[in-house]
Amino acid sequence: MSNLELFDEDLLDNPSARVPVCLVLDTSYSMSGKPIDELNRGVKMFMEEVLADEMASLSAEIAIVTFGGGVQKEVEFASIEKQTVPYLTTSGNTPMGEAVNLALDMLEARKKTYASLGISYYQPWMVLMTDGAPTDDISIAARRTSDLINNKKLTIFPIGIGDKAHMETLQQFSPKLPPVRLKGLHFKEFFMWLSQSITMKSRSTPGEDIKALPINPWADLSL
Amino acid sequence: MEITDLIQNYIVFVDTSSWMYPEGTKFLQQEFPAALHSHQKKVRISGKVIEEVNKHIKGDDKKRAEEAKVAAKLLNQYHTHKILDIYQDPDDPFQDQAILAMFMKYRTKFHLAMITQDRNFARDIEDLNEQGSVKSSKIIKVFYLDREGRLQPWVKGVKQHELDRKKRETATNPASRPLKMQENIHRLPLGTKVETGLDTVIPVSYFPKEGESVRTQKYGELTLVKEIGSGGEGSVFLTSNGMICKIYTQITKARIEKLKLMLKIPFEKKGICWPKDFATNSKGEYIGYVMDKAEGKVMQTSMFHKKLLQKNFPHWTRSSLVELAINILDKVLYLHERNIIIGDINPFNIMIKDSNDVYLVDTDSYQIVNYPCPVGTINFTPPETQGMRYHEYLRTFKHEYFAVATLVFMILMPGKTPYAHQGGGTPGEDIKKMEFPYPFGDYRGNAPDGVWRYIWSHFTYALKKRFYQVFSENNRLTTAEWVSVLEEYRRKIKLGHTNDEIWPTSSKIADDDAAHVTCSKCNTPFIMHINKKRDLDADGKSYICNSCLMIMKVTKVAKNEAAAAKQTAPRQRPTMRPATQRPRAMSSTWTPSSTRTTSSTRPASSTRVTPPPRAQQRQKQNNQQSTGLFGIIKKFLGI
């Protein structure tokens, strides 16, 4: 479960500033069936798109945490070349708070890794997706993300899936950007947008912070 | 003054500009050498003259190259006849300054004379006469060669015939006009205030697409053969005559006015993809412009990672990097001489075919008089303008020189930004703090680990000093000064005084200090500094090579990272995973001598990330950013 023996030479050789991106995905039982299939497809496409872009593949580093039954590190931070696409399955309840806390710990630890080796980085991005409501206490996690966001140390994209997604909960994690409900099961469109945004981020970057989440093909306009 | 008087009583210097002045050849070929010879005197030049002449011979400008060849021939003749002395201070690449310093030093002992066509340089030397602190009976004189090849005195930076003309003009026109600069370079006025109020969008009835055509005045009707890139501003097409056409998504008054201004500037420089003509649609409405085609690959994605550089330019050595930098700066200098500030210098706007064949693209964003460069990137923005909105202010040369230095640094340290350091943060924060991490003099620094330290250690003292001066002391060099520094560095590499490797595997160790040892981890022989060996021996410690040390460090860092973000309890995997996707455990071994181990100790599906097939198609010819589905989004995101 750890990569203690994994030597990632890119940490020494790759001069690009990194953008750590953590996907925090709901894999509770309610996601079974078509939703989890679409999510898997979206994640796969996302990782392939990032790898395909010459610049994003050198800048973006991806980690994936899932919450369904327990909390799982599905993909740990590494250069995208070395990663494998996870196959996500569903199970149990929705420990969202614990998942967000783990994701924040991972992001923090990754930043420490960058700093100790002299690698520049941009403040991390977190994508939080759920189709329901948390089954654990989210207050600490929500306070942590809010503080980071207010200090410009994190950008969060809170995404609701389907009618039962508890948007008020998502809102608690995100003092700046309002949560957006995904249009149907348009995960692919969302992840396409995300990889494009990362590509832009890794290129010309007039500003370091995200200003607004635009209306786009994956968001439900009826929100 | 008679030429005989001059050479008998003065120490005479001749500057590059006069050696290369076509109308001066007669004087320099006949009258002058004859006089020197008969009085057994010598003319003096600085070493920079030779460097500059050679540079022009190899340069892109054909006319200058011809002039330089004539000058080279002259200099060789002078040398053969022993009527030439060359002064070079090897530690000071700025020979202009060196000559000034020499004039300062000897002005109390000798009469000194300089022959130059360069107005500013002439003025600098003339000014020495007026520095009252030194009482001197000696004289400094400055001359130029006129169109008939006659020696004429400069008078406070003004030529004799200009004075004559001024007198005539004053006689005929009492409201005397100011003197016009008598130079070939068309210098724009520097901007004073951002042009505003021109953001109104001009309605356009139709924007042509791929397969359709545009009209130009100079090149007639052109078909848009193929779209080769697109971004937030518009799309770029290859046209039927081989030129490139950029078509905007939106036309504003400011856009048109700026282009009009740019098209008026006489501009001929290979490698700068300057607008050549407006493009209009069938109704004659402005929709974009045409320019020459850039060749090669985008700098950022072709050389800013070891594996990319080795793939794209396998024959390159460190000299190639230096040559590349010189070639790019040559173009930057051409712009700077015309008071054009690039603004958005960055490795996405530079295309490289080879180290001596480079192209600057996206020139329509350059700052022209009061039209700002509306874009930029954090890495190339100086500390004092970090966070300012690019379209709201006019950049200065001082801002630009920060970007120039950053570019030079990132070329010589392929891809590494100057301020990335241990304990650092985001690029913008690091720049604002100005903590340049590389050691210089007594300053130790906290440089990034690995190859970056080794590269730095092999830089010449002069190069380190200049980087330190810019990034630590905030004392920026001009583009011309950087060219001198780089030419000197290239010379040192050619002479074998410093390493020609792009990625040295260890810090610089002089032969006398080298101890040959074997790594206790991977059994590879390597060279260690003798003092370090002594220390290790004294402590009874074993020798470990740099690559093993790095592996140990990265492994330790990875261990700390894993420990800091532990997942509470691994859950049982459910059994919903289809048989075909059964997790495959991959073994992992750490082999210190290998450069790469691919492993994952965590069960993972067998789907390795592979790029989709269109990855290759995405390799854009221009640096235009891809729109894909979400091109517009960038505008909202402001990224």
- Tell me: the pLDDT tens digits for A115-126? 999 888 888 999
* Number of C-beta neighbours around residue B314 at 10 A: 7
| A74, two tokens | 């599905």
Instruction: Identify whether residues B277 and B314 lie together within a single domain.
Output: no
CA dihedral B110→B111→B114→B115, nearest 10 degrees, is: -130
Lowest mean pLDDT among B73-82, B458-467, B518-527: B73-82
Inter-chain CB proximity A193 and B629 less than 8 Å = yes
| A42, two tokens | 């979206």
- Residues in A closer than 8 angstroms to B301, CB to CB, are 54-55
Lowest mean pLDDT among B93-97, B136-140, B240-244: B93-97
Please choose, from the candidates B459, B551, B546, the residue with its C-alpha nearest in 3D space to the C-alpha of residue B502.
B459
Confidence of residue B260 (pLDDT cuts 50, 70, 90): very high
Please choose, from the candidates A206, A155, A12, the residue with its C-alpha nearest in 3D space to the C-alpha of residue B450.
A12
- End-to-end alpha carbon distance in chain B: 65
Average pLDDT, 10 consecutive residues per value, chain A (223 residues): 58 88 95 93 91 86 94 93 93 94 96 90 91 94 95 90 91 90 84 78 48 45 34
Lowest mean pLDDT among B103-117, B492-506, B606-620: B606-620
Q: What is the spatial distance between Cα B449 and Cα B428, in angstroms, rounded to a whole number? A: 20
| A129, two tokens | 């997706």
CA dihedral B181→B185→B191→B196, nearest 10 degrees, is: 120
Inter-chain CB proximity A208 and B562 less than 8 Å = no
Tell whether B52 is covered by a domain: yes
> What local confidence, expressed as pLDDT, does residue B187 receive?
84
Lowest mean pLDDT among B295-309, B388-402, B513-527, B564-578: B564-578
Inter-chain CB proximity B565 and A106 less than 8 Å = yes
Tell whether B462 is covered by a domain: yes
CB pairs under 8 A between A and B: 281
- The answer, for B587 touching chain A at a CB cutoff of 8 Å, is no
Q: What is the spatial distance between Cα A25 and Cα A44, in angstroms, rounded to a whole number? A: 14
> What local confidence, expressed as pLDDT, does residue B211 receive?
94
Q: What is the spatial distance between Cα B308 and Cα B326, in angstroms, rounded to a whole number? A: 21
> What local confidence, expressed as pLDDT, does residue B369 receive?
92
Asked whether the predicted pLDDT for residue B459 surpasses 50, the reply is yes
Instruction: Identify whether residues B379 and B315 lie together within a single domain.
Output: yes
Q: What is the spatial distance between Cα A176 and Cα B442, in angstroms, rounded to a whole number? A: 46
Lowest mean pLDDT among A196-210, B232-246, B430-444: A196-210
Instruction: Identify whether residues B134 and B228 lie together within a single domain.
Output: no
pLDDT digits (tens, 9 = 90+) for B553-576: 888 898 899 888 886 655 544 434
- The answer, for B497 touching chain A at a CB cutoff of 8 Å, is no
Residue with tokens 């750490």, as numbered in its chain: B590
| A131, two tokens | 């189709």
| B68, two tokens | 């330089």
Please choose, from the candidates B149, B148, B152, B154, the residue with its C-alpha nearest in 3D space to the C-alpha of residue B124.
B154
Confidence of residue B95 (pLDDT cuts 50, 70, 90): low
Asked whether the predicted pLDDT for residue B241 surpasses 60, the reply is yes
CB B508 within 8 A of CB B458: yes
Strand B244-248 relative to strand B213-216: parallel, antiparallel, unpaired?
A: unpaired
User: Which of B547, B577, B589, B639 has the highest number of chain A CBs within 10 A, making it the mutation to test binding with A?
Assistant: B639
Domain boundary among B172, B201, B233: B172
Tell whether B557 is covered by a domain: no
User: Which of B567, B598, B621 has the highest number of chain A CBs within 10 A, making it the mutation to test binding with A?
Assistant: B567
Span B171-189, average pLDDT: 56
Q: What is the spatial distance between Cα A91 and Cα A188, in angstroms, rounded to a whole number? A: 22
> What local confidence, expressed as pLDDT, does residue B121 receive?
81
Q: Does residue B345 or residue B591 have the better pLDDT?
A: B345
C-alpha B499 chain-centroid distance: 21
Inter-chain CB proximity A197 and B637 less than 8 Å = yes
Q: B479-494 and B461-471 are packed helices; what angle lies between their axes, rounded to 10 degrees? A: 150
Inter-chain CB proximity B606 and A5 less than 8 Å = no
Confidence of residue B273 (pLDDT cuts 50, 70, 90): very high
> What local confidence, expressed as pLDDT, does residue B60 receive?
83
> What local confidence, expressed as pLDDT, does residue B174 receive?
44
| DSSP-based three-state secondary structure for B185 | coil
Tell whether B475 is covered by a domain: yes
Q: What is the spatial distance between Cα B47 and Cα B88, in angstroms, rounded to a whole number? A: 5
Lowest mean pLDDT among A4-8, B29-33, B127-131, B625-629: B625-629
Q: What is the spatial distance between Cα B608 and Cα A78, in angstroms, rounded to a whole number? A: 14
> What local confidence, expressed as pLDDT, does residue B226 receive?
95
- The answer, for A178 touching chain B at a CB cutoff of 8 Å, is no
> What local confidence, expressed as pLDDT, does residue B167 receive?
67
> What local confidence, expressed as pLDDT, does residue B455 receive?
95
Range of the domain at B157: 3-172
Span B169-197, average pLDDT: 64
Domain boundary among B255, B271, B291: B291
Instruction: Identify whether residues B134 and B67 lie together within a single domain.
Output: yes
The CATH number of residue B217's host domain is 3.30.200.20
- Cβ-Cβ contacts under 8 Å for A205 (sequence gap 6 or more): A122, B377, B378, B639
Instruction: Identify whether residues B363 and B282 lie together within a single domain.
Output: no
Instruction: Identify whether residues B307 and B239 lie together within a single domain.
Output: no
> What local confidence, expressed as pLDDT, does residue A213 receive?
36
The full 3-state SS of B465-496, as one line of letters, equals HHHHHHHCCCCCCCHHHHHHHHHHHHHHHHCC
Number of domains, chain B: 4
The single-letter code of the amino acid at A32 is S
Inter-chain CB proximity A13 and B450 less than 8 Å = yes
Q: What is the spatial distance between Cα B291 and Cα A55, in angstroms, rounded to a whole number? A: 26
Q: Could you tell me which residues are beta bridge partners of residue B12?
A: B113
CB interface of B with A, residues 588-627, below 8 Å: 588-590, 595-602, 604-612, 614-615, 618-619, 625-626
Span B522-544, average pLDDT: 92
User: Torsions phi, psi of A88, nearest 5?
Assistant: -90, 135
Confidence of residue B619 (pLDDT cuts 50, 70, 90): very low
Tell whether B567 is covered by a domain: no
Span B419-444, average pLDDT: 87
The CATH number of residue B352's host domain is 1.10.510.10
Asked whether the predicted pLDDT for residue B626 surpasses 60, the reply is no
- Cβ-Cβ contacts under 8 Å for B490 (sequence gap 6 or more): B319, B322, B323, B326
Residue with tokens 């230096």, as numbered in its chain: B322
From residue B401, how far is each of A108, B352, B431, B457, B479 by CA, in Å?
35, 21, 14, 24, 7
In chain A, domain spans: 25-202
Tell whether B330 is covered by a domain: yes
> What local confidence, expressed as pLDDT, does residue B341 receive?
96
Tell whether B638 is covered by a domain: no
Span B414-438, average pLDDT: 89
Instruction: Identify whether residues B160 and B271 lie together within a single domain.
Output: no
Q: Does residue B561 or residue B602 have the better pLDDT?
A: B561
Span B346-371, average pLDDT: 94
B77 CB-side CA count, 13 A: 16
| β-sheet with A70-75: strand ranges across | A70-75, A60-68, A19-26, A125-130, A155-161, A180-182
pLDDT digits (tens, 9 = 90+) for B294-332: 999 999 989 999 989 999 999 999 999 999 999 999 999
Q: Does residue A217 or residue B427 have the better pLDDT?
A: B427
Between 3.40.50.410, 3.10.20.340, 3.40.50.2000, 2.60.40.10, what CATH number should domain A25-202 receive? Answer: 3.40.50.410
Confidence of residue B122 (pLDDT cuts 50, 70, 90): confident
> What local confidence, expressed as pLDDT, does residue B573 receive?
46
